[in-house]
Structure 1
Amino acid sequence: MLFTEDFLHYVWKFRLFDHAKLQTDDGEELEVFSAGMHNTDSGPDFHNARIRIGETVWAGNVEVHLSASDWQKHGHTTDNAYENVILHVVYQNDEPLTLPNGRKVPTLQLKDRIPAELYNRYHQMVFGQQSIIPCENSIAGIDKLIMNNWLTRVLIERLETRSKAVIDRLNLYRGDWEETFYQFLAANFGFKTNALPFELLAKSLPQLILAKHKNNPMQIEALIFGQAGFLEGELQDEYPLKLKEEYSFLRKKYNLKPIENHLWKFMRLRPQNFPTVRLAQFAALIVQSNHLFSKILEIKDINALRALFTDVKVNEYWDNHYRFNVASKPSAKTLGASSIDILLINTLALFLFSYGKQHQQQHYISRSLKLLENLPAEQNNITEDFITLGVKINNAFESQALLELKNNYCNYKKCLQCGVGNKILKLA
C-alpha cells in the first residue's frame, strides 16, 4: 500500500478500521472507547484517548506511525513527552516497543484492517492524475449543507490568517487604525499588477501628511503623484507642471523621497487601469473621504459603502488623459463596479473582521461576513475551474472560501484535513 502517516491518523481518528477481535501485539484483548483528540502540535498524536486492554481501562496519549520502528527513528525514545503513551498504533509492527524505563508499550497493528474501498478512494484522490483538484470527480455531488459548513470554516481561516497581517501593521503604527487602513487600501488600489508600488507609495507618504492638506486637492494630488515618481521627468501640460511646482515645495517641507518610477507597470493593462488613472482616483478618494476607516465602521448599508468609491471624481485633466502629456479621447475615469467590489472584499471586509477580532466585538465580524454574502463572486481562474467542476458560486463569501480551499488545501492535497475530502472518503 502507498500512503502517508496522515492517512493512518485519519483512519484512527475516525475509527475507520475493522474492530473485530482487536488485540495488542501481546495478544491481549483491546477495545477503543475514544480515539482521543488529534494533536497537530509537538508531542503524541492523540491526547486523552480511552481504551481497554484486558480488564484494565486506560486514559492517555496515543502515538501513530507507519512502522513500529519509526518510534526510534523519530527520536521519541529520549523524549519525556512520550512516556505516558498508552498505545502505539502502527500499520506494520516490525519491532516491539520498550521504553528506557523498561515499560513495554502495547501496540496495535492496522495492517489488513483498513477497508480496501477506503484506501482506494484515498489513493485516487491523493495520488491520482487529476488536472484541477484531487476530488474533481466527486465535489459536485457533495451535500449542500456539508459544503456550506466547510466553506464557512475555510473562509474564517482565511480571514483570521489575513487579519494577522493587519494586526502586525497596526502594532507597527501604534494602534492607528486610520493609518493601517490607508496602507492596505493603497496596496489594494494597485490591484494585482501595481500592488507593490502602491504599497511603497503609502509607506513613503503617511496619511497624517495628507490629512494636513485635506482642503487643498491640488496639494494632495501633488503629494501622491510626486511620491509615485511621476513628476520627476520633463512635463509639458499646465496641470502636471503645477503639480510639480507644489510637490517641489512639499517635498522639501516634509523631507520626502519618491519611490522609483520604473516600478509602475503599464504593459498589458487597459488604459482605464493605468497606474496614473488609479493614482488620480486614489487622490480623489483621499480628498473626498476624510477619516475613511471611521466612516466604514459606521456605515452598514452596502450601497452606502459602494458610494464612498462610486462618487469619487478625479481632476478634470484626466477626462481626456490616461498619462501625463498624452491627450486621449474623452472618457470617464470612475472606478468600475467590479473594481469597487474587489476593494470591498479585500479591504473593507478584512478590516471589519480584524477590528472585530481585535476588540472582541462580534457584530463587526458578522458585518464582515454579511458584506461578503452580499457581494458578487469574484471571477478568476480558480473560481472558473470550480464552476467547470459543477460547483455553484453564489457570492464573494463562497468565492473567497474556495480560493482558500484551493490554495491551502487542494494544492497541497490536504484531503484528510478537508471537510469535503473527509465526506468523499467516508461515502458508502
Structure 2
Amino acid sequence: MKEDFLHYLWKFKKFDALNLKTCNQEEITISNVGQYLELAGPDFFNAQITIGNQKWAGNVEIHVKSSDWYVHHHEKDAGYENVILHVVWEHDSEIFRSNNTKIPVLELKNYVSTDILSNYQKLLSPKSWIFCEKQLKEIPNFVLINWQERLFFERLERKSKPILDLLESTNNDWEAVLFCLLAKNFGLNTNGGIFLKIAQSIPFSVIRKECFEEENLEALLFGFAGLLDADKEDRYFKDLKFRFFYLLHKYQMEKGCIESVQFFKHRPDNFPTIRLSQLANLYNKHQNLFSKINDLNSVEAIYEVFSVSVASYWETHYQFDKESPKKKKALTKSFMDLIILNTVIPLQFAFAKSQGKEISEALIAILNDVESEKNSIIDKFSSFGLKAKNAFETQSLLQLKNEYCNKNKCLDCAIGMELLKNN
C-alpha cells in the first residue's frame, strides 16, 4: 500500500463514505475532504468533517500506518496542530497532539471495496516499460484527447521557464532571447550549451548592426566559438579572423573562455561550422526576426522563413583547409521541425503568456501539421497501440513518459485514473 493511493481514495471519496466511524466508534460525516496541497505540511487543507456531534474545520493527514505520524516527527511540527482527522490504512498506534489531546483516526481499509483494490493492484502490476502498457488500447479516445492537450501545455510551461529567465537576463529584449534560443537549438544536444554561451557572449545590439554583412556574423560566431584561434593558410579563414579582431576592437568586446565545440560523432551536415554558418545566414536574410516568427501561424510560413543555407565557402567545405564536393547544405525539413518544436512554439507561447493572450488553439493547429517525431519513446508507445499522428501528439507522449510514467505518478495521470475506475 502506498500513500499516493490513499490520497486518491480520500480526494475522490472512493470508499463507503456513508458509514464511516473512527477507531473509537464515533460516526464521521464528510462535508468537504479539503484541498489537496502536495506541499510541505498536512495533506489536505481546510476540510470540514463532523465527528460524533461535533463539526470540525481543519486539516487531514494521511499515512499508511498511524505510527508513521511519529516516524515523520509530526508531533514536533506546529504545522500539524490543526489536524482534525488522521486517515490511515492500518491503525497501529494512538496519536496525540502536543497538548496531549488524541487525534481521531479513520482506518480506511475497512471501507474500500475489493474491486477498487483489485484495480489498483492490476494497474501497478510488474511492468516491462510502463505499468499500463497492456491496457493502453482500452482507453477511450475522449480521455486521451483531453489528456494529451493537458500534457502538451504542461510541457510548454516547462519549456517557457528558461525563455522567461533569458528575457530577464536580456533586459526584456525578445529579439535577443530568440537569438539565444536559436543558437542553442542549432547546436543540438552536443553543442547546444556551447552555442548558447556564444550567443550570450555577443551583445545582440552588435548582431543588429552587423547582420547586413554575413561574413561579419560568421566572424563573430566562429571567433567566440574558438574556431579562429589557430593559424591556417586558408584565405577565408584569414578573412574571418581579421574581421573578428576588428569587431572585437570596434565594439570593445572581450573573448572569454568557452569550451571547444564538438565535431566528434556528428554527421558532417551537423558540424558546428555548418550550423553556425546557417545561423549567420538566417540573421543576414531576416532582420527583426522575432516579430516575423511571432506572427507566423502555419507550418508553410515557418518553413519559408527558415529556408536558409550556408555561405558559399561552406558549400565546398565542412572544415577550414579541407575541400569537399559542392553541396548547398540548406536546413532540412526535419531540422526545421526541431526548430518549430523547440524554439518557435515555446517562444510564441511564452510571449503570449507575458502579454496575457490566449493562443492555445493556434499552437495546436501548427503542430497538427508537423510530422510526428521519431524516437525510442514514441516507437514504444506505438508498439503498445498508442500511435502518434503528428508532433502535437508526440510532444504529449514525451511529457507523459518523462513526467508521469518514469515517476510512477499513475494516480495523477488521466490514463491511470481511467483504468483504476474501469478495470
Shorter-chain TM-score above 0.5: yes
- How far apart, CA to CA, are the structure 2 residues paired with 1:129 and 1:66? 21
- State how 1:14-413 maps to structure 2 within 5 Å: 14-19=12-17, 21-126=19-124, 128-253=125-250, 254-257=252-255, 259-260=257-258, 263-310=260-307, 312-363=308-359, 365-413=360-408
- How far apart, CA to CA, are the structure 2 residues paired with 1:362 and 1:259? 42
- How far apart, CA to CA, are the structure 2 residues paired with 1:207 and 1:134? 48
CA RMSD of superposed structures (Å): 2.1
Corresponding residue SS for 1:307: helix
Cα offset, 1:102, TM superposition: 4.4
Alpha-carbon contact 1:92-1:111 (below 8 Å) kept: yes
Write out per-residue CA displacement over residues 363-388 of structure 1, whole angstroms, 9 at most, x where no aligned residue.
3x543333223322211111111111
Cα offset, 1:124, TM superposition: 4.6
Letter in 1 for 2:323: A
Cα offset, 1:282, TM superposition: 0.7
Which TM-score applies when normalising by structure 2?
0.93
Alpha-carbon contact 1:21-1:29 (below 8 Å) kept: yes
Cα offset, 1:287, TM superposition: 0.7
Corresponding residue SS for 1:370: helix
Letter in 2 for 1:423: E
Question: Taking every aligned residue pair, what percent have the same amino acid on both sides?
Answer: 39
Corresponding residue for 1:8? 6
Corresponding residue SS for 1:269: coil
Letter in 2 for 1:81: G
Write out per-residue CA displacement over residues 199-236 of structure 1, whole angstroms, 9 at most, x where no aligned residue.
12112222221211122222112111122111122323
Cα offset, 1:20, TM superposition: 6.4
Alpha-carbon contact 1:25-1:109 (below 8 Å) kept: yes
Moved more, 331-340 or 73-82: 73-82
- How far apart, CA to CA, are the structure 1 residues paired with 2:272 and 2:119? 49
Alpha-carbon contact 1:51-1:57 (below 8 Å) kept: yes
Which TM-score applies when normalising by structure 1?
0.92
Alignment counterpart, residue 419 of structure 2, candidates 412, 420, 424: 424
Q: CA, structure 1 residues 382+182, in 2 after alignment: closer, same or farther (shift >3 Å)?
A: same
- How far apart, CA to CA, are the structure 2 residues paired with 1:100 and 1:323? 73
Cα offset, 1:293, TM superposition: 0.8
Letter in 1 for 2:382: I
- How far apart, CA to CA, are the structure 1 residues paired with 2:160 and 2:281? 27
Corresponding residue SS for 1:63: strand
Alpha-carbon contact 2:48-2:55 (below 8 Å) kept: yes
Corresponding residue SS for 2:109: coil
Moved more, 227-236 or 287-296: 227-236
Unmatched 5+ residue regions in structure 2?
none
- How far apart, CA to CA, are the structure 1 residues paired with 2:418 and 2:404? 15
- How far apart, CA to CA, are the structure 1 residues paired with 2:262 and 2:122? 43
Alpha-carbon contact 2:364-2:392 (below 8 Å) kept: yes
Unmatched 5+ residue regions in structure 1?
none
Letter in 2 for 1:339: F
Alpha-carbon contact 1:349-1:369 (below 8 Å) kept: no
- How far apart, CA to CA, are the structure 1 residues paired with 2:181 and 2:123? 38
- How far apart, CA to CA, are the structure 2 residues paired with 1:375 and 1:100? 60
- How far apart, CA to CA, are the structure 1 residues paired with 2:311 and 2:145? 45
- How far apart, CA to CA, are the structure 2 residues paired with 1:178 and 1:384? 36
Alpha-carbon contact 1:204-1:259 (below 8 Å) kept: no
Cα offset, 1:42, TM superposition: 2.3
Letter in 1 for 2:153: I
- How far apart, CA to CA, are the structure 1 residues paired with 2:74 and 2:328? 68
Alpha-carbon contact 2:59-2:82 (below 8 Å) kept: yes
Q: Flag as ranges the 4+ runs of structure 1 deviating above 6 A.
A: none
Cα offset, 1:411, TM superposition: 0.7
Moved more, 36-45 or 285-294: 36-45
How many residues end up aligned between the 2 structures? 422
Corresponding residue SS for 2:160: helix
Alpha-carbon contact 1:200-1:259 (below 8 Å) kept: no
Corresponding residue SS for 2:137: helix
- How far apart, CA to CA, are the structure 1 residues paired with 2:98 and 2:218? 73
Moved more, 47-56 or 394-403: 47-56
Corresponding residue SS for 1:87: strand
Letter in 1 for 2:353: K
Letter in 1 for 2:413: C
Corresponding residue SS for 1:362: coil
- How far apart, CA to CA, are the structure 1 residues paired with 2:260 and 2:137? 43
Alpha-carbon contact 1:229-1:258 (below 8 Å) kept: no
Cα offset, 1:360, TM superposition: 0.8
